[in-house]
Amino acid sequence: MYIHTMSYVDLVLKNGRIIDPVNRVDMVADIAVNNGTILSIGNNAQFQAKKTFDAGGCLVTPGLIDCHVHCYQYATPLGINPDEHCLSRGVTTVVDAGSAGASTFEGLRRYVAEKCKARMLSFVHIAQHGLAAAGCASGAPGGELDSLNVVSVDECVKCVTENRDIVVGIKLRLSDSIADEGKNEMEAYRRALQASERAGVPLMVHHTMSTVPTQVNDDKSSSLGCPRDLKAGDLYTHTYHPYRSSIVDPTTQTIYPDVLKARQKGVLYDVGHGQGSFGWTVAEISSTSGFYPDIISTDLHTGNHRGPAYDLPTVMSKFLHLGMPLVEVIHAVTSTSAKAIGWGDRIGSLTPGKEADITVLKLDEGPVSLEDCQSQVRVLDKVFKPVAVWRAGNQYPITVSDPFPNRDAMKLNLREWDKILIRDKDKPVIQ
């Protein structure tokens, strides 16, 4: 409990259940905020507040962090507005996952990071143009790795070095369809690993439908594997996708040994829900083995913010349903995420003296039917709903998904059914 002698403060949040994993706080108490920073946690009856917020019956957490978003709006086909779709759903820090590369990063900084109310950080794509077009970003064939001429270790490292105030890592997408039918995947992977090592930042790897194997059975093989050849602190995203390159062996329905070994050495597993990268069946197989994510993120973009991802609280709800303990769910969107991107000393907790990034959530009782990325449905007993959010002590309005769930999006995403390897027995029927 923290005590301060000041009589007047800007804000007191009262009566909420405060969950702050960093400080091992899980109790019903008050939070006092003044001049945009956390002042104290505990019984704050001694303070007179200019504003009071009653969080009774709610969870009060550090401001949520979404480690995988695409928010280079208008400059890339995937870009969304981070304030409209993240901050308004309780997310105070968004991390763009490689929308910009070295040649396009200045625009992301000037036109998004410097203008949005949410805190925006970024991974830099190993391809110099990032996700400006092609591949899954716009529906055109091909992708950003079709030519290795744009995969420059030197330029990527230079961009990281010159933008360390907002750059937290390097991003690579490994899929054969965006790398000249897979011909360039291995070399792009080698270069991304090299750039990450030189720059001293983590590498986030998207690994779906790739020629780079999930499991390398020959320990003496010089061939790269993913996640086998990632280093401690690197992020493996789209962990629960059901396509080729899944973490689950389609034959045995068990998690590949290389995936488990990578976790043991410190590789972090990120949800990266997306429009196609979360399958209920894969997640259930994984959860049965206790293989929950280190980081829960949305991969929010223009193709999924109306479903099936919706927002970060919705993705959190899916893992609560899968049996992930409540406090661990909060860990995965606050302190673990902050530490993974090298910001653990600045965000991800309610430590007095830090900026007042605060999220208030309510657990609404179900039943609520929620789809995965291929429109398989599960019925959830409880769903996280954002109630209020403060970024650096300033409160911002909350919005809700409408419709929720979105059956039009479910019908659209059902078209992927025949492509997935790990799925329920019966194809969903969408009314």
- Listing DSSP states for 271-301 in one string gives ---TTTS--HHHHHHHHHTT---SB----B-
- How many whole angstroms separate alpha carbon 355 and alpha carbon 352? 8
Looking at the structure of the chain, the number of domains it has is 2
**Mean pLDDT on 6-23:** 92
Nearest to 342 by CA among 186, 205, 203, 202: 202
* Alpha carbon separation from 148 to 153, 180, 334, 407, 423 (Å, rounded): 11, 10, 36, 40, 35
Q: Which residues contact 29 (CB under 8 A, 6 or more apart)?
A: 16, 18, 41, 42, 43
> In terms of domains, do 118 and 13 share one?
no
Same domain, 152 and 294: yes
153 and 300 co-located in one domain? yes
Q: How far is CA 378 from CA 248, 283, 297, in A?
A: 20, 12, 19
Q: Is residue 77 part of a domain?
A: yes
The answer on 73 and 24 residing in a single domain is: no
Cite the DSSP H helix spans in 123-183: 153-162
- Where on the phi/psi map is residue 134: left (φ > 0), alpha (ψ -120 to 50), or beta? left
Do both 31 and 174 map to the same domain?
no
Same domain, 292 and 392: no
Indicate whether 154 and 283 sit together in one domain: yes
Query: Does the residue 118 lie in any domain?
Result: yes
Query: Which residues, at least 6 apart from 220, have a Cβ–Cβ distance to it below 8 Å?
Result: none
Percent of all residues in the chain with a pLDDT value above 90, rounded to a whole number: 91
Shared-domain flag, residues 321 and 333: yes
How many other β-carbons are positioned within 10 Å of the β-carbon of residue 105? 26
Task: Say if 415 falls within a structural domain.
Answer: no
Q: 3-class SS at 427? A: coil
Residue 7 has pLDDT above 90, yes or no: no
Give yes or no for a contact between 385 and 313, defined as CB atoms under 8 angstroms apart: yes
Residue 379 CA to residue 407 CA, distance in Å, equals 15
Cα separation, 328 vs 293, whole angstroms: 9
β-pairing, 59-62 with 8-20?
parallel
H-helix segments, 17-168? 82-85, 105-108, 153-162
- Does any domain span residue 426? no
Whether residue 386 is contained in a domain is answered as yes
The answer to which of 45-54, 169-178, 215-224, 266-275 has the lowest mean pLDDT is 215-224
pLDDT digits 0-9 by tens, 172-212: 999 999 999 999 999 999 999 999 999 999 999 999 999 99
pTM for this entry:
0.96
- Do 136 and 33 have their domain in common? no
Task: Give mean pLDDT, residues 98-123.
Answer: 98
What DSSP designation does 127 have?
B
The Cα 246–Cα 234 span in angstroms is 18
- In a domain? residue 425: no
C-alpha 189: how far from chain center:
21
Q: What is the pLDDT of residue 43?
A: 80
Give me the CATH number covering residue 21: 2.30.40.10
DSSP letter at 109 equals I
The H or E element containing residue 317 is helix 312-321
Please name which of 28, 83, 31 lies closest in space to residue 62, comparing C-alpha atoms: 31
For residues 243 and 111, membership in a common domain is answered with yes
Does residue 158 share a domain with residue 25?
no
Q: Is residue 422, in this structure, part of any structural domain at all? A: no
- CA atoms within 13 Å, Cβ hemisphere of 15: 7
CATH of the domain at 215: 3.20.20.140
Of 92, 122, 45, the closest CA to residue 350 belongs to 92
Q: How high is the pLDDT of residue 1?
A: 46
Kindly report, residue by residue over 279-322, the tens digit of the pLDDT.
999 999 999 999 999 999 999 999 999 999 999 999 999 999 99
Per-residue pLDDT, 366: 86
Residue 2 has pLDDT above 60, yes or no: no
Query: What range defines the domain where residue 190 resides?
Result: 64-340
**Are residues 95 and 128 both part of a single domain?**
yes
Q: Supply 82's token pair.
A: 């981070």
Residue 365 pLDDT greater than 80, yes or no: yes
The span from the CA of 33 to the CA of 251, in Å, is 54
In a domain, 278, yes or no: yes
- pLDDT tens digits, residue range 375-411? 999 999 999 999 999 999 999 999 999 999 999 999 9
pLDDT in tens, 222-252: 789 999 999 999 999 999 999 999 999 999 9
Mean pLDDT, the chain, rounded, equals: 95
